[in-house]
Amino acid sequence: MRKELIAGNWKMNKTCQQTRQYFEEMLPGIDCEGRDVVICPTYLSLKDAVEATAKTNVKIGAQNMHYEESGAFTGEVSAEMLKEAGVQFVIIGHSERRTYYAETNESVNKKVKKALLSELTPIVCVGENLDQRQKGETFDFVREQIEKSLEGINDERLVVAYEPIWAIGTGVTATSEQAEEVCEFIRGVLGEKCKENSEKIRILYGGSVNASNIKELMSCKDIDGVLVGGASLKSDFVKIVNYE
């Protein structure tokens, strides 16, 4: 019922030239049959990425956006700017944005509302750190993130990405059982908030995803896709997208 979604978050990597080269090398091998494939480069590379994928089924997303249309927000980019650039998806509330740039559930909520209003598909990130997991606070923390980040929102276009902070870029991956346990919990919380749309909302897992663990992760009932970090920069991403 829910179409699989494989998304790559490049973070602060690749110049415009490197972006063009990446797509020249990678696109011929990517098979989008039966699943959505989204790549999120830096702002400066969005135009090159959109042009490179124009005649393909690969979609382009941004890594962040502001909730205002315009104004005195130095260094920010609006949803309208992203739409004009040809962007279709946007990552919101990534743990690195929350940790390094003091993003809150409240600001994430404003961004999600603005993204949906602007017909951008938001990929909303939630997840606990190692200390919270070890103290048994995972479910309470993730519930709070979802409830506050999605307050007043009930839309089947939503995508929620569960990214345990302790597994991002560490080489440590949550086991498929750990990932499914939290994703199933997220589905339940969405059922309370979004009711009839909860079974339509896609839930992704992110955290050291690679070609070796993608099949096992995707076999989980409540995992509809993955948000890939470092591996999306390399040829391994084709193997992840084309997993069987």
At residue 166, φ and ψ (nearest 5 deg) are -70, -10
Q: Per the residue annotation, which of 103, 128, 163, 180 is the catalytic one?
A: 163
Catalytic residue check, 163: yes
202-228 as b/e, with b when 16 or more CB fall inside 10 Å?
Answer: bbbbbbbbbbebbeebbebebbbbbbb
Task: Spell out the residues 6+ positions from residue 236 whose beta carbon is closer than 8 angstroms to its own.
Answer: 210, 211
Catalytic residue check, 66: no
Q: Per the residue annotation, which of 94, 96, 103, 180 is the catalytic one?
A: 94
Terminal Cα-to-Cα distance of the chain (whole angstroms): 18
Residue type, 168: I
Catalytic positions: 94, 163
